[in-house]
Amino acid sequence: MSTQSKGELVDLLGIGFGPSNLALAIAVHEHNGSGEAPLRAAFHERQPRFGWHRDMLIDDSTMQISYLKDLVTLRNPTSSFSFVAYLHEKGRLIDFINHQVIYPSRVEFHDYLEWSAARFADQVEYGSEVTAIHPVLTDDRVTALDVHAVSEDGVTVRRARNVVLATGLSACLPDGVERGDRIWHSGELLGRVAGLGDARPKRLAVVGAGQSAAEVTEYLHRTFTDAEVYSVFSRYGYSAADDSPFANRIFDPAAVDEFFTSDTDVRQMLLDYHAGTNYAVVDRDLINELYRRSYHERVTGRRRLRFLNVSRPRRVTPTADGVRLDIEHLPTRTTTALDVDYVVFATGYRPSRPDRLLDALEPWLRRAEHDELVVGRDYRVLTDGRMSAGVYVQGATEHLHGISSSLLSTSCVRAGEIAESVVEAVRRTEPMATGSVPRGSGQPRQVLGS
């Protein structure tokens, strides 16, 4: 493969171009339009085109945030990138108002994200996966970073003063379970179903009890009208998501400040108290719909939707024409074999660990207890004084910035804070180029330990 250096030094290089770095691109764009010294920004995205959890864009699935928590409104309500501006441009504003919803469909929100992303087509390199970040030394200081990315054209290296990692989530499967033609993760649902062509499975299983699990169960039951669908989970029943107004304040921008300044035990307490707003919970309407269908089938006697509660698949074995699940019923400790054509593990995600791209920077990184990166309130990774190049992280800091870290709720505010921090950092390191007087002490701004 060929390696080539690409373009000029940029002030900010975003790794990943999902909603988090898209919100950042908008914040930078709006900063650049403000008359202040502009930032040069570019982004790498490994997908061939913009896409937000495309294979879970199930018809009728809705957002779990208000449309006002879009890419900009909480930061800049007058932005031309708002969901309302999108509706206006698409000629649907009045129809949306008449629709009387605050949670738009995921399909519509995806269209909004694509509409916004299209305005940055010249800044994003799609089909380009970042594989490593190397220090650039001036004397003994790390003053820039070389970002290596692989695409079908070979390896490119781009130099940046600051990088922002927003690499999203990685699928979780139970230990020992490997994805395969008949063993899927929920994140690949629609692509896998499309791949079946005209084949009509007769028996399907879904493992998990969160929002994705309930959505996949509903979708498979509705789509394969002759198939039996088994939903397997260790809870007694699905738990309803807490979207009540007081609890919802845990997603407010102000909650990030309070969370960040709290002691570790208080942070953990808050995460435990409010897990029910986000983790392993399901929208109440969807729970009711699944119950309604199940009850209706009992009335008609044609039962094909089944719930195996308080149960766990203990063994998952591919067979010649399907998958065998050995399912343990936990109260009785009895195990029963269930043969299915396909099984979907809706067993969640974990944030992608940013560390894997930072190996070459290790000598300069500060580490906290349990070897975690130390990340400041401004999402900048704390490094020692010999490194002026910045590394920022979006999405993997729930233990420091709270439950909204990996979600969309505050992404526009977070993007604004990162853009501001990068502007300050560039001013400090390049006073002549921007023509402004350096501010601050030369130490990283607002970098607090965990």
Ligand X SMILES: Cc1cc2nc3c(=O)[nH]c(=O)nc-3n(C[C@H](O)[C@H](O)[C@H](O)COP(=O)(O)OP(=O)(O)OC[C@H]3O[C@@H](n4cnc5c(N)ncnc54)[C@H](O)[C@@H]3O)c2cc1C
Binding site residues, ligand X, CB under 6 A: 15-16, 18-21, 44-47, 52-53, 56, 63-65, 129-130, 166-169, 212, 394-395, 406-409
Pairing of strands 3-5, 154-160: parallel
Least gap, CB of 351 to ligand X (angstroms): 8
Radius of gyration of the chain (CA): 24
Quick one: CA torsion of 343, 348, 351, 353, rounded to 10 degrees? -40
Q: How far is the CB of 54 from ligand X (least distance, A)?
A: 10
Rank residues 165 and 387 by Cβ distance to ligand X and give the closer one. Answer: 165
What is the closest distance, in whole angstroms, from the C-beta atom of residue 261 to ligand X in the complex? Answer: 23
Please name the residues in contact with 262: beta carbons below 8 A apart, sequence gap of 6 or more.
Answer: 270
- Distance in angstroms (rounded) separating the CA atoms of residues 204 and 399: 36
Give the residue with the Cβ less far from ligand X, 131 or 334: 131
Judged by beta carbon, residue 55 or residue 297, the one nearer ligand X is 55
DSSP run (H or E) holding 425: helix 411-429
Q: In terms of CB distance, is 106 or 427 closer to ligand X?
A: 106
Nearer to ligand X by C-beta: 147 or 308?
147
Nearer to ligand X, 131 or 336 (CB): 131
Q: How far is the CB of 206 from ligand X (least distance, A)?
A: 14
- How many other CB atoms are found less than 10 A from the CB of residue 412? 28
Torsion of CA 246, 249, 251, 252, to 10 degrees: 160
Distance in Å, CB of 395 to ligand X, minimum: 4
Least distance in angstroms from the C-beta of 396 to ligand X: 9
In terms of CB distance, is 274 or 427 closer to ligand X?
Answer: 274
Residue with tokens 């914040």: 27
Residue 22 CB, shortest distance to ligand X, in Å, is 7
- C-beta of 128: minimal distance to ligand X in Å? 6
Q: Do residues 393 and 373 make contact, with C-beta atoms less than 8 angstroms apart?
A: yes
Rounded CA separation 442/165 (Å): 23
Those residues whose C-beta lies under 8 Å from the C-beta of residue 171, and which sit 6 or more positions away, are 185, 187, 349
Closest distance between ligand X and the C-beta of residue 350, in Å? 11
Report CA 43 to chain centroid distance, whole Å: 17
Q: How far is the CB of 233 from ligand X (least distance, A)?
A: 18
Q: What counts of helices (H) and strands (E) characterise the chain?
A: 13, 19
Find the helix or strand (DSSP H, E) in which 423 lies: helix 411-429
| Closest approach of ligand X to the CB of residue 43, in Å | 8
In the block, tokens 């879904």 appear at 206
Nearest to 415 by CA among 378, 365, 370: 378
**DSSP classification of residue 407:** S
CB neighbourhood size of 22 (10 A): 29
Rounded-to-integer distance, Cα 346 and Cα 212, Å: 6
Nearest to 324 by CA among 335, 334, 310, 332: 335
Residue number, 116 or 394, with CB nearest to ligand X: 394
Nearer to ligand X among residue 201 and residue 395 (C-beta): 395
Q: What angle is formed at CA 41 by the lines to CA 39 and CA 44, rounded to 5 degrees? A: 165
Nearest residue (CB) to ligand X, 151 versus 436: 151
Residue type present at position 33: G
Residue 180, SS3? coil
Residue 96 or 251: the one with the smaller Cβ distance to ligand X is 251
